[in-house]
Amino acid sequence: MLSLENQIVLITGASSGIGAACAKFFAGAGAKLILAARRFDRLQQLVEELNKNFATEIYSLQLDVRDLAVVESVISELPPPWSDIDILINNAGLSRGLEKFHEANIQDWEEMIDTNIKGLLYLTRFVVPGMVSRDRGHVVNIGSIAGHQTYPNGNVYCGTKAAVKAITEGLKQDLLGTSIRVTSVDPGMVETEFSEVRFHGDTERAKKVYQGVTPLTPDDVADVILFCVTRPAHVNINEVILMPVDQASATLIDRKQ
């Protein structure tokens, strides 16, 4: 098992859900964390909580992954103790809307494409060259079962996660000959702020998504990510699909009520 002691781990979307759980799990494993998100107050709260429980060093970044110029400058201007990123977790992402294609809001499409695809590309493009020059590193992309199977009204969100799948495969191919590892972790239903964001703050509708099922928790996903990055250096876990026991596909869900 590989030690994460003092490894520098950049987690995007660390202010909530899976990203925040990863911060906790990686802090517990002794990694040094760069935590990025737009909501800086939420990041600060998380940092305070982590500082109470772990002796880890944390650098927080207020960052919108959609902003190419800012992503480039933030990554290239990281202070020297933080600049050699060992692990990049491309987790920032969202869904917006669940409507038929011909009725969907185009702004929602733009936001999903800009965040889930272009944001992931920007971070990866600016972090990976350093990994290549040091010949060490691991990129973990958070995909989804939505990248493997399209469901009704999921159209563009599913398209963005299918893109993450293809981009992950392409990156792995292009890094052949280096020691850098590339993994996609693709969950099914995880109870986070995801559905609240999808339904533009409609919490009642969001709650119904998880009604009568035991969904995955953010910790379940962080645990799998930690497993992937701590395998021996010659082992690359290309892809992990994980779902709750109560789920068999994006649309086949066993609700108890």
Q: Which x/- pattern, by CB under 6 A, does the window 171-200 give for ligand 8X3? A: -----------------xx-----------
Question: What minimum distance in Å lies between the beta carbon of 170 and ligand NDP?
Answer: 18
Residues 6+ apart with CB under 8 A from 253: 189, 213, 246, 247
Question: What minimum distance in Å lies between the beta carbon of 26 and ligand 8X3?
Answer: 22
128 binds ligand NDP (CB under 6 A): no
Q: Which does 184 bind (CB under 5 to 8 A by kind): ligand 8X3, ligand NDP, none?
A: none
Q: Which of residues 114-153 bind ligand 8X3 (CB under 6 A)?
A: 144-146
Record the tokens describing residue 70, joined without a space: 């800012």
Q: Identify whether the C-beta of residue 184 lies closer than 8 Å to the C-beta of residue 159.
A: no
> Which residue shows structure tokens 């964001």?
197
**Does 210 qualify as catalytic in the annotation?**
no
Q: Which of residues 33-72 bind ligand NDP (CB under 6 A)?
A: 37-39, 42, 63-66
Residues 6+ apart with CB under 8 A from 141: 90, 120, 124, 164, 167, 168, 182, 183, 184, 185
Cβ nearer to ligand 8X3, comparing 153 with 179:
153
Q: Which of 59, 122, 151, 157 is catalytic?
A: 157
250 binds ligand 8X3 (CB under 6 A): yes
Q: How far apart are CA 222 and CA 185, in angstroms?
A: 10
Q: Which x/- pattern, by CB under 6 A, does the window 170-209 give for ligand NDP? A: -----------------x-xx-xxx--x------------
Q: Which of residues 226-245 bind ligand 8X3 (CB under 6 A)?
A: none
Q: How many residues bind ligand 8X3 (CB under 6 A)?
A: 7
213 binds ligand 8X3 (CB under 6 A): no
Cβ nearer to ligand 8X3, comparing 27 with 216:
216
Cβ nearer to ligand 8X3, comparing 162 with 189:
189
Q: How far apart are CA 39 and CA 82, in angstroms?
A: 21
Return the active site residues.
157
Residues lying near ligand 8X3 in the complex (CB under 6 A) are found at 144-146, 154, 188-189, 250
Residues lying near ligand NDP in the complex (CB under 6 A) are found at 12-19, 37-39, 42, 63-66, 91-94, 115, 119, 142, 144, 187, 189-190, 192-194, 197, 218
